[in-house]
Structure 1
């Protein structure tokens, strides 16, 4: 049973709708709150201006209603409509006072109203005055005050009166409770909040349905993918998806192409492997039937020896097929600092008995001076590099021929470390050197006749392991042979590794 995944949910697990709402709605709400605050300020200013204008009107009427008597005293005779304007109503209480300033002040403009003394001509005693009067006659001063346990809005204005050389000063104060204007402002604020809440709900619905509409092509694409059969690897159609999703569809199509290429390689590999294994198995089956029918014990032994030899070749072929399958896999083994010279020496010692059996001279040239063993550092997988080098040496032993000389050496050049396998066998034509890296290709008729029984997998495996570690394999001319030609030199090249504490080491240049 598959173990449950312990990974945490992805960042976008909530979906596009959720994240659009999370990212957009707070901003919309913040904008609406700021807009509400601005609207509230503007509405309060308008409300104050309207109510203050309405408050100033009866004050002006009272101011103009003050007149001189014949004896020089002042009288006030407000008109009826002024009395109506000053009448208190539920939720809108009115207060007023008209007083004559006594004694006279030289100039009431900007005077301290709290220090003035006066005689009430009309209205209520104790009505609060402003701190200072206006600088000019007839100019109102609006202020907030507290009177009879009531918060009131007040207006005050003063006037100089002159008649036949007589001079009088009058101060008019009118106020009203703030209940009505506060209710008006609160009502406007509530309506603004309700209006903004409707906008938020509308924005949420618009985002929700807009995302649903925008994702419809993806839903169609999803249905298309789910309705496909397992072996349907056609690319997805990118014409009907949003432009922002086209890169994703192209990436999926690219992955489909890679997956299709992997499947094709696997199919070719299985076909080639079955073909290669069928031949030795058929030969073994034929030899076994022949041995069963043969009465002569010597010939039976010869058949059994041939069967054992064929089994060895089949075993080698199977191992190479498994190695090629591993080398073709994309996941490489753990890498680290590897001494290429040590791997080369180990591989030579490993194949020395096989070379002696073939009567070949297999030797190792250390990269150090005076015969010393200097390291050749690379950063790679030691197992994979060893397998690549082992296949190069085995390929040389298999194809160089009896009596050949095979030399393995390692060293540095400017950018790369290298290890080479050089022989003086029959060699390989330059035109065939690329094709031998194709699996099951033995390099044409010149290498298929009599000098080796390889399966054509050795160099393909060696190159696959080299490329997995960032390297390559180069085939060039080897040592001169007996017929005036040249053998073959296979050079495994890997990126040079320079540790911070490791000085540059001397090495031979490999060509």
Structure 2
């Protein structure tokens, strides 16, 4: 996999725009400097042309000009440039200067920067690039009328030197600014990424069994959602591992006894040579296996329920229909004990919830009532205004033992004393009720004088944010 460095990418994304801006800034500085140099030197050329124009005079009907070199030398800025001039009469005759200077191009406009009829244009003279100022000077003296033309040209050495000097200054200053910016950005990124390296070291040194939340070592507000998401994931992982450990512990603890009983029953059958004893052992083993299947099924239901969190908007469920269906499904079990199992209450009662979980709740309550009701007893199921009631004529549960009865693997015998066993029915009922945002209450039945379990469902918009399982 290709190695990608975050700091290198950030510096690259920052450095490329800065380099482009640096180039653009240098170019604009150079163009501005060249324009400023052109204007400054053009003004000097125009001044030289005006000095020459002032030397025009009419003598004996002829236009003459006297241009001493000392006048032209006074306008030269340094020894790097050469100055040329030409004075042309209104008739097009060269009066003085170089008679082969480049003429005014056809497309050269009059300058609007100065109050004079002057053209500025670039040309080449004797293989040298030059800048020319062409000034039109009106003449109206002693019968001589027309526009004299004064051309003053200068080589570009000083202009280019001035522009390059400004360009070098811009290159150094802007380049230094970009370099300093990148160095500061690199140092800033190194400091910013330090908490990430700290977090990496923390994760590398962390014990694999340590599932405590990570400390908030990242100080930036933008990274807080990431840390919260990681910590929530650790919490879910911790809960999942705890459920697996709980299921393993429960299964190993609860299955040990029936497996021991089954082993004993097998040993007894093997020692006996009488077929009737074999049959008796096989019947006992079938009962033991059935109990183990029921126990395993309840363990799986309890583990699955603990692993389930409400995450969808519940649907409208007809609780009365579910209660009646549970009564029908357990009717044969009740009939085997000659128990009068019946339903009383509303024909329809809609609540918000999960149909599978509510069916499991009803079935567990009715199954628990049938188990602990003596033969010939009564179990009554009713639903009114969203409240589920399951009553029986069994021994009931003492008030002091009711909270303990809701815990997993605690079963109360007929005398009302606690004994170890696979009591998972009421534990499942408790967790399903909590999942739906309500609770299961244990009371004494006012009519049957046994146990009455109440589960009141409300018309809630959504499930609670979390469910606490014990």
**C-alpha separation in 2, matches of 1:134 and 1:259:** 81
**C-alpha separation in 1, matches of 2:85 and 2:187:** 60
CA contact (8 A) 1:425 1:481 kept: no
1:223 and 2:196 matched: no
CA contact (8 A) 2:86 2:94 kept: yes
- Which residue in the other structure is 1:507 paired with? none
CA contact (8 A) 1:466 1:472 kept: yes
Judged with a 3 Å threshold, the aligned counterparts in structure 2 of structure 1 residues 379 and 246 are, in CA distance, closer, same or farther, namely closer
TM-score by length of 2: 0.71
- Which residue in the other structure is 1:389 paired with? 362
- Which residue in the other structure is 1:270 paired with? 248
C-alpha deviations, 1:397-437, integer Å up to 9, x for none?
223444443333456x5xxx665534454444566555444
1:279 and 2:257 matched: yes
SS in 1 for 2:369: helix
Aligned residues: 453
Shift of 1:229: 3.7
- Which residue in the other structure is 1:98 paired with? 87
1:438 and 2:415 matched: no
**C-alpha separation in 1, matches of 2:46 and 2:407:** 103
Judged with a 3 Å threshold, the aligned counterparts in structure 2 of structure 1 residues 152 and 395 are, in CA distance, closer, same or farther, namely farther
1:457 and 2:417 matched: no
**C-alpha separation in 1, matches of 2:83 and 2:335:** 126
**C-alpha separation in 2, matches of 1:438 and 1:179:** 101
Judged with a 3 Å threshold, the aligned counterparts in structure 2 of structure 1 residues 467 and 37 are, in CA distance, closer, same or farther, namely farther
CA contact (8 A) 1:481 1:487 kept: no
- Which residue in the other structure is 1:352 paired with? 331
CA contact (8 A) 1:473 1:491 kept: yes
SS in 2 for 1:475: strand
1:408 and 2:376 matched: no
**C-alpha separation in 2, matches of 1:314 and 1:406:** 26
1:24 and 2:14 matched: yes
TM-score by length of 1: 0.67
- Which residue in the other structure is 1:111 paired with? none
Shift of 1:316: 1.9
CA contact (8 A) 1:140 1:155 kept: no
Aligned-pair RMSD on alpha carbons? Answer: 5.2
1:361 and 2:361 matched: no
Shift of 1:353: 0.8
Shift of 1:348: 1.8
CA contact (8 A) 2:395 2:414 kept: no
- Which residue in the other structure is 1:82 paired with? 72
CA contact (8 A) 1:86 1:95 kept: no
CA contact (8 A) 2:433 2:440 kept: no
Q: Aligned runs of 1:235-246 on 2, under 5 Å?
A: 235-238=213-216, 241-243=218-220, 245=223
Shift of 1:463: 4.0
Shift of 1:227: 3.7
Q: Aligned runs of 1:51-450 on 2, under 5 Å?
A: 51-66=41-56, 74-80=64-70, 82=72, 95-99=84-88, 120-123=94-97, 124=99, 127-128=103-104, 131-132=109-110, 141=118, 143-144=120-121, 153-157=131-135, 172-176=150-154, 181=159, 185=163, 207=185, 210-238=188-216, 241-243=218-220, 245=223, 248-249=226-227, 251-286=229-264, 306-330=284-308, 340-365=319-344, 367-368=346-347, 376=350, 378=352, 380=354, 382-410=355-383, 419-428=388-397, 433-442=402-411, 447-448=416-417
Judged with a 3 Å threshold, the aligned counterparts in structure 2 of structure 1 residues 420 and 146 are, in CA distance, closer, same or farther, namely farther
- Which residue in the other structure is 2:467 paired with? none
2:457 pairs with one of 493, 501, 504: 493
- Runs (5+) with no aligned partner, structure 1: 1-8, 103-116, 369-373, 499-511
Shift of 1:36: 3.3
**C-alpha separation in 1, matches of 2:263 and 2:273:** 18
- Runs (5+) with no aligned partner, structure 2: 463-470
**C-alpha separation in 1, matches of 2:250 and 2:459:** 33
SS in 1 for 2:410: coil
C-alpha deviations, 1:172-229, integer Å up to 9, x for none?
3323466874686578668857876776677666655653453344334323322444
**C-alpha separation in 2, matches of 1:410 and 1:22:** 70
Shift of 1:235: 4.7
SS in 2 for 1:462: helix
Shift of 1:375: 7.9
CA contact (8 A) 2:316 2:352 kept: yes
C-alpha deviations, 1:430-468, integer Å up to 9, x for none?
665554443223469964569xx9622112223444555
